[in-house]
Every structure is written in C-alpha cells, then in structure tokens.
Amino acid sequence: MQGNNLENITQNAEKEVNSSDAPTIVKTDIGAIDGQNKCPKCGSTEISLNIKNGKLKCEFCHHEFEPEHVTGLESDISRLEGQVIASGASDIIASTDDVVTIKCSSCGAEVVIDTSESTQGRCHWCRNVLSINNQIPNGAVPDVVLPFKITKDDAKKMIEEFVGKRQFFAHPKFKEEFTTENIMGVYFPYMVVDINSHAKLIGRGEHLIRRYTVKNGDNYDTYYDAEVFAVEREFDLSITGLTIESNSDRLDNNSHDKTNNIINSIMPFDIENCVKYDSNYIKGYTSEKRDANVSELKGLVGAQAKDIARFAANDTLEYYDRGVRWDSEHLAIKGEQWQAAYLPVWLYSYQQVKGDKSIIHYVAVNARTKETMGSIPIHIPKLITVSAVIEFMSFLLMLSVDWDYSFLFLALGFIYFWIMYQRYRNNDARHSYEIETQREIRDLVKSDRFVERRNRLSNSTMIGANNTRITDSSLATKVAKNISQRTEGENNDNE
C-alpha cells in the first residue's frame, strides 16, 4: 500500500513537469446541424422544450426527442490527466463575427442570425426556424445545457413569496412597482470543471481539555487547557462539477451596480443532468454569452479547489475542536476537465435609482431546484427610525437592570438594524462551493502526533486557526476586471 502511494507521488511529480503540454480538446458538437432542424416524424422545424420532462418536443405532431449527451469526456474523475477542454469552452477569438448568414434549405433565402442575441432565427419567407448548433469561437454556443424544469408560474410564486415576507421595510416605490409579470427565463453561461488532485496539508491542531474560571480581583476570567498536535493529512481528491460564472459581468460578485451575488447564491445546479447543446432548448428564453476563457478562470478555479480540499480535510478533524492551523497546504492538480454550460435561472430585476447612481436588485430562482434568493430595496428612514426606538428602549432597560454588563443592551438597536438589512438585501449571500461541490476523498493518510499540553490559554479558539478560511471574493472581482479589460481592448481594436 505504502509502495503504491510512493509510486503515485512520483508519477504526479512527472505529470506536473509535463503540465506545459497543450490541452486535449474534445469535440462536443459532432453531428450538430446549422439550419433547419426537422422533426423526423413530420418535418416541422417548430421544436421546443417540454418543461415537464426536459425533452425536446415537436409542436405539431408532439413527437418527443430523446436527449442527447456529450460523448468523449472522462466520467471517472480519478482517471483525469492533464488539461481536457470540451470544444465549446475553447478560447474566444476576438475577430469572430457574431452575425452568421444561413441559407434556408426550403426556399433558398438568406437568413441573418446575430448570435450575440440568439442562436435561432426565422426565415422571413417560408417561416421555418433556423438554428446554429455548431460551435463558433465567440462564446455563444456552449457544450451543454441544463433545461428549464421549473415553470414560469412556479417561479412567480417563489418570487412573490420571497418578496411577500419582506414588506415592512421595503421601499414604498418598490412595493408600488413590484410585479412578477416581467420575470425572465435566462440561461446564464458557466464553466463546469472536474478536477483530479492530490492534497497534502501540514500544521498544528488544538483539542480542548478543560475550561474553567479563575477569580481575578472582582472579576472572573475564563481559561482553557488544550493539547497541541502536529497534524498531517494527505489524500487524493476528485472534485466533480465545480461551477463558475463565465461572463465577466456576472463573475463580479462585489459589483456596486448589480446584486450578482444573489444569482451566485442559488447554485448548485444538478449539472449531471446537462444535455448536449441544441438551440431548441433556448427557444422562448434568453441567454447571455460567455466572454471568459479557460486560462483566465484557471487561477480562480485553482483557489476554489484548494478551499474544497481544505473543507474535505475538515471531515477528518473533528477531534480538533479549537481549530487547526495549516502551515503548509499543497494541492497538486493531476487532471482537469472544462465544459461550457448554460444553466437556467428565473430572474426578476428591479432598478433602484439613488441620485445619479443606480443599483439593480435581483430576485432569482434556480429553475431546477427552486432555490430562491433576492435583494429588496430598503426604506432606510423607516429602518433607522425603528432601530432608534429599539435603541432608546434598550437604553431604558440598561438603566433599570442591575448587571455589570448592562451596557451590552446598547448594541441591540445596531444589531436589529444589521439583521434587518441582511434579511432584505442579502448582500453576504453566496454559493458555498467549498461545502456544496461534489467531492470524493481516496487513499487518506492521517498523522496526529502529540506535541505538548498548553494551560491557562485565554483564547477560546486556537490562535491562527485557518482550516475554515476561504478565498476572498475580491479575487473573482479581479479576474472579472481583467476579462472585461481584454474584451474592451478587443472591441476598440475592431473599430
């Protein structure tokens, strides 16, 4: 067993050296047809998603199509080697023309489709639907799509319920203007990444032995005795379906003018049910185009993978109830596989204008799982008034209570303000990818060596513990800025 591990590690080292190798591109649009996609039963081009079962359906004869799946990608993540990129996730080529002209095979007319808006168009003469299903290097055609499953009516209910629970402090103008009539079904672009990796973490962990109080003058102080261990964890880790926004505008979760974090927070999606891209899935919905390349997202994905590894290790660290401080963390990525995907979201958006600034609030529903999150504009004067009343009552309470710490009551008004603000705006909502991403540990090697006992510690948790830390969200903002700078530069070059 030990011999095998050593062998693996040597192999990994070799692979890391070879990491400059060009990625393997897996072509995923094999057999895709641009132009008329006809129903095999009746020849109609009117084909759209049947939301009830996720299949495509002919609108004339009701023939249903079995979903197609992408082939050629590795399904056993533990066998992934090097960098594999599905062709729909290939680099965007700046000079690519978004506008594609297709000759209608029925009447010979030339039909112009602007792929930055849609991958379908209707022939003006014979009314047939023409689709683009072959990938073009502009980010408009992904490898896979996850079809809508939640109906518009169900999404409306979820959004109304969410907003209904947040009425008291909602801005009066918002209350007046709120309607779910104009909610939109949107396919947002994401990269879905599978990772085969090997993790090694080295550090110190603390286990609580005793907690006690000692009289110190008039006060009692709390102290802790703890055992310190040298901790090591080494394991193989498969990460399946790590999902990341691939449009720079959405990737920026700290954006000041739109509440992107709301859309981020309704992940995860059941991406294992993705099907091969077909423009007919998009019919009746809108979609956003990808503008990010694999190389631009790689650093962010690597950082998130490291977070996932750290949290995977936490499952083996329950004994260290005071925390673990990793002094060295290493995640070697042996193989990774990237796919471009469209994932379905029902979206309500509301623009709030404040002076010369404006902010777009979203209420978003995951159109697979119904998970709902939102940001509601707050009537700030009302929230301040109520918080001030609470603050005043707390002040009276403080005067009437005989307790050393009665000054703590003075925090109540501020706590109330903060809790209500979070409840309406949810500005810290986000996808907890470090816990919610599918992962599997294999060949775990544990080492826990007693170092010393430390007594009379005044901190309730270990100083410097970092085992529940995650990558700062400002990294995503930085990556998003770099991408939008590139695309702006390219646009200027084209002009």
Binding site for Zn ion (CB under 5 A): 39, 41-42, 44, 58, 60-61, 63, 104, 106-107, 109, 123, 125-126
Closest to Zn ion by CB, 61 or 384: 61
Closest to Zn ion by CB, 44 or 255: 44
Q: CB of 36: closest distance to Zn ion in angstroms?
A: 8
Tell me which residue of 177, 52, 156 sits closest to 365, measured CA to CA: 156
Q: CB of 64: closest distance to Zn ion in angstroms?
A: 10
Backbone angles phi, psi at 319, to 5 degrees: -60, -30
Tokens 């992940």 sit on residue:
267
Q: CB of 286: closest distance to Zn ion in angstroms?
A: 24
In degrees, rounded to 5, the angle at the alpha carbon of residue 413 between the alpha carbons of residues 407 and 414 is: 95
Q: Which distant-in-sequence residues (6+ apart) come within 8 Å of 72 by Cβ?
A: 26, 27, 28
- The C-alpha R_g of the chain, in whole angstroms, comes to 27
Q: CB of 344: closest distance to Zn ion in angstroms?
A: 24
Token pair, residue 144, equals 């896979």
Token pair, residue 407, equals 């000054």
Torsion, Cα of 63, 66, 70, 76 (10° steps)? 170
Closest to Zn ion by CB, 64 or 227: 64
Q: CB of 34: closest distance to Zn ion in angstroms?
A: 14
Closest to Zn ion by CB, 61 or 202: 61
Q: CB of 65: closest distance to Zn ion in angstroms?
A: 10
Closest to Zn ion by CB, 107 or 389: 107
Closest to Zn ion by CB, 109 or 359: 109
Q: Which helix (H) or strand (E) holds 197?
A: strand 184-216
Burial call 327-356: b when 16+ CB within 10 Å, e when fewer:
eebebbbbbbbbbbbbbbbbbbbbebeeee
CA distance 247 to 332: 27
Closest to Zn ion by CB, 129 or 159: 129
CA distance 263 to 255: 12
Q: CB of 140: closest distance to Zn ion in angstroms?
A: 22
Q: CB of 96: closest distance to Zn ion in angstroms?
A: 25
Q: CB of 35: closest distance to Zn ion in angstroms?
A: 10
Q: Which DSSP symbol is given to 258?
A: B
Tell me which residue of 55, 36, 59 sits closest to 47, measured CA to CA: 59
Q: Are 424 and 375 in contact (CB under 8 A)?
A: yes
Helices (H), 292-426: 294-314, 380-400, 412-425
Burial of 463 (0-12, 13-18, 19+ CB in 10 A): exposed
**Which residues face 136 on adjacent strands?**
none
Long-range contact set of residues 73-76: C-beta below 8 Å, sequence gap at least 24: 73/26, 73/28, 73/337, 73/339, 74/194, 74/335, 74/337
Q: CB of 129: closest distance to Zn ion in angstroms?
A: 10
Q: Which DSSP symbol is given to 79?
A: G
Closest to Zn ion by CB, 59 or 490: 59
Closest to Zn ion by CB, 72 or 108: 108
Closest to Zn ion by CB, 56 or 476: 56
